Every structure is written in C-alpha cells, then in structure tokens.
C-alpha cells in the first residue's frame, strides 16, 4: 500500500525566509506525487506534481519540489516566504494503475510571521 | 468551467437525521472522489467512482454512509442516521483520465470547496 509521511504538523518561518516542507513516500511501484495547498475554508488546490518526467518540479506561487528516489522524498521548497503562503499543505501519492487514487499525508500548517 | 460544485457549503443537523451532500464534477472528468477531513484523521478517501461505477468503497466508515452517482454530472453522499462523530468537512473531487503510464496526463484531482457538516 502506498503512503506519505509529512514531518512536522506545523512549520513557522519569517517572511522572506526559506520554506521547507518535508514529505517522504512509500510505494512499491513508481509513484506519482503531488503537493496541494488548502487555504482556510477552501478546498485543496494543486501546487505541483511529479509524474516521472523531470525530478525537479516547479509549481505555482514560486514553489518547487524535488523527487529523490534514493531518499524516497518529495520535499516542497520556496526560496522566500510571503505572508500569503500561510496555509495547510498536503503531500499525496498515487500509482500508475490508472485509477488515480490519491493517498494524502496528514498535512503541514505553514505559519508566516512578519 | 466552474469547477467542482458542492452543496450545501454548510449543514447543521440533529443526531439521527438523514443528511445528503451533493456534488457536481467537472464536465468530462471520469473519476469522482469523496473525501472526509477531520482534525483527528486528516483527509480520508471514502469512496471513488469511475464512469459512474463505484470502484472502491473501502473507506466508507459504516453502513450508515452511502454514495451514488446516477449520471456523469451528479453524485450524492448520504448519511442515515447521522451521528455527532460524523461532523467533518466533506470534499468531492473529480479527475480526468487520459491513458496510462507515460501517456497519462492531467492526473491531478480537482477539489470542490467542501461541505462543513455539524451534527448536534
């Protein structure tokens, strides 16, 4: 069975600082990996996805993530945090069976201080 | 496209009552998912459909929960009878399916804004 583990339920950064949100996956087959963002009282919005092409994936709002098979990781980064980045971030995994069933991590809440 | 549309946005009901949540997926999407989000358990997949057929309902917590997809543009999630522990945000999502493996594109799920259910 596939799963993802997000380390840290809360991450606090100052505005302008580096954002690093960690995600490790477990999958017996090559995975597809996703990062979603959820703003308060909103649904989930896709930030970026890895689908076995380039290992460094760029997404919206300046976020990017790198797929590292040797570390089974897919960490999300942004060089400089903005106040508007404060939200909850979810890592998710699916497989290539075609059913596109997404399994989500428990989420990391990003707090950005002035 | 207006995206995935869920109704109602908020629902407050008394324990024991029947609750029906509704979802309109994005036109042309082959997959529809129902998720539940709680503080304790995070995001849980309850059930998903492919071309209106339920594929995996192993996440449905109890027989009190049922879901239907009578056509490609509408799905319901019903709880009967409802209990306070059912209080959560319920999300519907839809996804297109185009090919397999390296030909697979647009594999992400598009989420609705959710229905916040409170059972008192």
Comparing CB atoms, the residue among A43, A46, A106 nearest residue B113 is: A43
| Contact partners, residue A19, CB within 8 Å, separation at least 6 | A11, A13, A63, A76, A77, A78, A79, A81, A85, A110
User: d(Cα B55, Cα B36) in Å, to the nearest integer?
Assistant: 17
Q: What SS3 class is residue A84?
A: helix
Q: What is the mean predicted confidence (pLDDT) over B8-16?
A: 97
pLDDT tens track for B42-85: 889 999 998 999 988 989 988 999 999 999 999 999 999 999 99
Residue in A with minimal Cα distance to B97: A98
Task: Report the pLDDT value the prediction gives residue A54, as an integer from 0 to 100.
Answer: 83
Q: Which of B109, B112, B115, B116 to mutate to test the interface with A (most CBs of A within 10 A)?
A: B109
Mean pLDDT confidence for B2-26: 96
- What is the structure's pLDDT at A97? 58
Task: State the best of B54, B108, B112, B114 to mutate against chain A, taking most chain A CBs within 10 Å.
Answer: B108
Percent of chain B whose predicted confidence (pLDDT) is above 70: 90
- Show the low-confidence residues of chain A (pLDDT under 50): 98
Nearest Cα to Cα of residue B56 among B34, B26, B79, B23: B34
Q: What is the mean pLDDT of residues B85-94?
A: 95
pLDDT given at position A73? 95
Beta carbons of B109 and A102 less than 8 Å apart: yes
pLDDT in tens, A96-111: 554 567 888 999 999 9
Percentage of residues in chain B having pLDDT higher than 90 = 69
């Amino acid at each position: 069975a596939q799963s993802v583990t997000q380390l840290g339920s809360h991450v606090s950064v100052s505005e302008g600082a580096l954002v690093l949100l960690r995600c490790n996956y477990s999958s017996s087959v090559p995975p597809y990996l996703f990062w979603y963002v959820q703003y308060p009282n909103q649904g989930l919005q896709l930030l970026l996805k890895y689908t076995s092409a380039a290992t460094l994936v760029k997404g919206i709002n300046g976020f990017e993530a790198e797929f590292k098979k040797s570390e089974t990781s897919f960490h999300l980064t942004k060089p400089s945090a903005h106040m508007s980045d404060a939200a909850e971030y979810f890592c998710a995994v699916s497989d290539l069976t075609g059913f596109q069933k997404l399994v989500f991590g428990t989420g990391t809440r990003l707090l950005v201080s002035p | 496209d207006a995206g995935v549309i869920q109704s109602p946005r908020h629902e407050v009901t008394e324990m024991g009552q029947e609750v029906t949540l509704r979802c309109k997926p994005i036109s042309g999407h082959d997959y529809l998912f129902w998720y539940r989000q709680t503080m304790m358990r995070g995001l849980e997949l309850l059930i998903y459909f492919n071309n209106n057929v339920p594929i995996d309902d192993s996440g449905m917590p109890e027989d009190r929960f049922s879901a239907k997809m009578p056509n490609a543009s509408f799905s319901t999630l019903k709880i009967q009878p409802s209990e306070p522990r059912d209080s959560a945000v319920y999300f519907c999502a839809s996804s297109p399916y185009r090919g397999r493996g390296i030909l697979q594109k647009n594999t992400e799920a598009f989420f609705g804004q959710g229905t916040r259910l409170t059972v008192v």
